[in-house]
């Protein structure tokens, strides 16, 4: 893995690998600062997908013809590449439609175990009245709503680590909520609103001390920093391909081997079965039993290409670059009159994103104003309504970076924002 520092010159050079970043919008050069919502595709990924579709495309794990053999071997090689990228074994990752889908596979699987599916092997995952599920008030809806549904389905109680006035929380806040009754602790590795980096090791230790499992929403970490699931010791994790320069429509469910073996499949059908009779069915071992139906083969191969590309850039270098950009955004945005950045101040390391509130101007107006200058950011609640409610607002504007982002991009953002309150008459 490369460890070279990403200078602005290097970021500009890497940007040339992403054709869309050269686009103009409204006659202005695009300044894309919405990587937290979706990253863009490099020619490396686009070329690999096209080459696969032109020369080897076939459904995998079925059919005796040559194309089927080629696509199956590409597909399983890709599984090896992606598993290595996240510090997992190949049989510990299952392809899903996205991170949201992967988190639902966990919650629906636990619901099934709680109904008695999966037999004796699934007993450790069973939940019922008296048991507690702990999340945080800062979660993305994808790591919140499925847990609400699971609590409703099982009679377990949903509790949460409260967010403070800045929208962040600490391990001590978590210790105050977790009890001997806690069976699951689910949380985001990196917050998509505050950029907070969760104390994963300490939470895993806390979970272990009460016999709870851990579920990590790794959507905003795997694309942006080196992540090793074995080293972190989490039980399950989920992330999306499209946020790490890979294709859309693909997510990854990671599960420690013994945990995946305990989880009943939430989706059933073709490709995940051993023996089917008219009365009943036996399922394949993980990960295949979590991959019902025809697989997203070009997307999986595209994601492997994305991982190789990211390894070439260097994940440690990406993390360092983005933490510097995160601190720069917090410093420069906070210095603007009437702008408040959500989250900790610049002295606390955060991922390369900043959500902020502009006094007197709704985030949709801020986003449109920036868009007119070619700057793409995200306005709204960022799928974190409870966190915004906790902070007393309905929405914020978020700028999120990647390794192609330069200081000039932040300059453009800050300079445009300097005019936004005057434009809407909010400075009077
Ligand atoms: N969790 C977090 C922290 C996210 O940022 C996102 C994407 N916005 C998700 C979960 C859901 O990912 P997806 O929409 O790709 O399923």
Query: Which atom belonging to ligand 1 lies closest to the Cα atom of 190?
Result: 3
Between the CA of 97 and the centroid of ligand 1 the distance, in Å, is: 12
For a mutational test of ligand 1's pocket, the pick from 37, 38, 100, i.e. the residue with the most ligand atoms closer than 8 A to its C-beta, is 100
DSSP 21: G
Between the CA of 30 and the centroid of ligand 1 the distance, in Å, is: 24
CA-nearest residue, atom 4 of ligand 1: 219
Query: Which atom belonging to ligand 1 lies closest to the Cα atom of 191?
Result: 3
Between the CA of 187 and the centroid of ligand 1 the distance, in Å, is: 12
Query: In percent, how much of the chain has pLDDT > 90?
Result: 98
Between the CA of 383 and the centroid of ligand 1 the distance, in Å, is: 8
Query: Using one digit for the tens of pLDDT, what is the confidence trace for 28-72?
Result: 999 999 999 999 999 999 999 999 999 999 999 877 899 999 999
| DSSP for 106-161, written as a single string | HHHHHHHHHTTTTGGGGGGG---TT-EEEEETT--GGGTHHHHHHHHHH-PEEEEE
The residue among 193, 100, 89 whose CA lies nearest residue 144 is 100
Between the CA of 38 and the centroid of ligand 1 the distance, in Å, is: 9
Kindly tell me if the per-residue pLDDT of 240 is higher than 70: yes
* CA 7 to centroid of chain Cα atoms: 26
Does residue 219 carry a catalytic annotation?
no
Q: What is the mean pLDDT of residues 342-357?
A: 98
Specify the pLDDT at position 289.
97
Rg of the chain over Cα atoms, rounded to whole angstroms, equals 22
Query: Which atom belonging to ligand 1 lies closest to the Cα atom of 382?
Result: 8
Which residues have CB under 6 Å of ligand 1? 98-100, 140, 142-143, 188, 192, 217, 219-220, 240, 251, 383
Kindly tell me if the per-residue pLDDT of 3 is higher than 70: no
Confidence bin at 169 (pLDDT 50/70/90): very high
Query: Using one digit for the tens of pLDDT, what is the confidence trace for 148-160?
Result: 999 999 999 999 9
Q: What is the mean pLDDT of residues 328-356?
A: 98
Q: Where in the chain is the domain with CATH 3.40.640.10?
A: 49-311
Q: Is 58 exposed, middle or buried (0-12, 13-18, 19+ CB in 10 A)?
A: middle
CA-nearest residue, atom 6 of ligand 1: 219
- Phi-psi map region of 139: left, alpha, beta (phi>0 left; psi -120 to 50 alpha): beta
340: β partners: 357
Specify the pLDDT at position 236.
99
Kindly tell me if the per-residue pLDDT of 313 is higher than 60: yes
Query: Which atom belonging to ligand 1 lies closest to the Cα atom of 139?
Result: 3
CB neighbours of 12 closer than 8 A, spacing ≥ 6? 404, 406
Specify the pLDDT at position 62.
78
Between the CA of 67 and the centroid of ligand 1 the distance, in Å, is: 34
Q: Is the peptide bond before 287 cis (omega within 30 degrees of 0)?
A: yes
For a mutational test of ligand 1's pocket, the pick from 219, 296, 386, i.e. the residue with the most ligand atoms closer than 8 A to its C-beta, is 219
Query: Which atom belonging to ligand 1 lies closest to the Cα atom of 98?
Result: 16
Q: What is the mean pLDDT of residues 83-88?
A: 98
Q: What is the mean pLDDT of residues 245-260?
A: 98
Between the CA of 235 and the centroid of ligand 1 the distance, in Å, is: 19
Specify the pLDDT at position 1.
43
Q: At what angle do helices 297-313 and 43-55 cross, to 10 degrees?
A: 150
CA-nearest residue, atom 8 of ligand 1: 37
For a mutational test of ligand 1's pocket, the pick from 107, 196, 220, i.e. the residue with the most ligand atoms closer than 8 A to its C-beta, is 220
**In CATH, which of 3.40.50.1370, 3.40.1440.10, 3.50.50.60, 3.90.1150.10 is domain 8-42+314-421?**
3.90.1150.10
Between the CA of 46 and the centroid of ligand 1 the distance, in Å, is: 22
How many CB atoms sit inside 10 A of residue 89's CB? 16
Q: Where in the chain is the domain with CATH 3.90.1150.10?
A: 8-42+314-421
Specify the pLDDT at position 390.
98
Specify the pLDDT at position 64.
86
Q: Determine whether domain 49-311 maps to CATH 3.60.15.30.
A: no
For a mutational test of ligand 1's pocket, the pick from 135, 224, 240, i.e. the residue with the most ligand atoms closer than 8 A to its C-beta, is 240
37, 383, 393, 426: which is the annotated catalytic residue?
A: 383
DSSP 381: -
| Arithmetic mean of pLDDT over the chain | 97
Q: What is the mean pLDDT of residues 90-96?
A: 98
Query: Using one digit for the tens of pLDDT, what is the confidence trace for 187-207?
Result: 999 999 999 999 999 999 999
Length of the chain (residues): 428
Cα separation, 318 vs 12, whole angstroms: 14
Kindly tell me if the per-residue pLDDT of 294 is higher than 80: yes
The residue among 357, 367, 353 whose CA lies nearest residue 400 is 353
CB 416 within 8 A of CB 29: no
């Amino acid at each position: 893995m490369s460890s070279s520092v990403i200078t602005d010159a290097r970021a500009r050079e890497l940007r040339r690998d992403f054709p869309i970043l050269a686009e103009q919008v409204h006659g202005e050069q695009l300044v894309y600062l919405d990587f937290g919502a979706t990253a863009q595709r490099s020619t490396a990924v686009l070329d690999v997908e096209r080459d696969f579709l032109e020369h080897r495309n076939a459904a995998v794990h079925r059919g005796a013809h040559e194309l089927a053999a080629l696509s199956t071997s590409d597909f399983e090689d890709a599984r090896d590449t992606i598993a290595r990228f996240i510090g997992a074994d190949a049989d510990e990752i299952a392809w899903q439609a996205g991170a949201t889908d992967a988190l639902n596979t966990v919650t629906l699987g636990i619901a099934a175990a709680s109904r008695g599916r999966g037999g004796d092997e699934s007993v450790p995952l069973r939940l019922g009245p008296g048991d507690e599920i702990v999340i945080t008030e800062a979660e993305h809806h994808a790591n919140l709503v499925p847990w609400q549904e699971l609590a409703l389905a099982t009679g377990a109680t949903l509790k949460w680590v409260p967010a403070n006035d800045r929208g962040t929380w600490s391990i001590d806040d978590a210790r105050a909520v977790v009890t001997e009754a806690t069976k699951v602790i689910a949380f985001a590795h990196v917050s998509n609103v505050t950029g907070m980096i969760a104390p994963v090791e300490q939470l895993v230790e806390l979970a272990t001390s009460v016999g709870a499992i851990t579920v990590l929403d790794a959507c905003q970490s795997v694309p942006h920093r080196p992540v090793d699931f074995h080293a972190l010791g989490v039980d399950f994790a989920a992330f999306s391909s499209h946020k790490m320069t890979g294709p859309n429509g693909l997510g990854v469910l990671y599960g420690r081997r013994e945990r995946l073996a305990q989880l009943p499949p939430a989706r059933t059908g073709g490709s995940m079965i051993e023996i089917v009779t008219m009365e009943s069915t036996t399922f394949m071992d993980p990960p295949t039993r979590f991959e019902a139906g025809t697989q997203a083969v070009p997307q999986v191969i595209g994601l492997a290409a994305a991982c190789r590309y990211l390894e070439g850039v260097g994940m440690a270098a990406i993390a360092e670059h983005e933490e510097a950009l995160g601190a720069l955004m917090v410093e420069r945005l906070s210095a603007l009159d009437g702008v408040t950045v959500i989250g900790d101040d610049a002295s606390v390391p955060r991922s390369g994103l900043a959500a902020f509130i502009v006094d007197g101007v709704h985030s949709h107006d801020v986003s449109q104003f920036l868009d007119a200058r070619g700057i793409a950011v995200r306005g709204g609640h960022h799928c974190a309504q409870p966190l915004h409610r906790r902070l007393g607002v309905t929405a914020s504007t978020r700028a999120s970076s990647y390794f192609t982002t330069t200081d000039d991009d932040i300059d453009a953002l800050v300079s445009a924002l300097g005019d936004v309150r005057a434009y809407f008459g909010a400075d009077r």
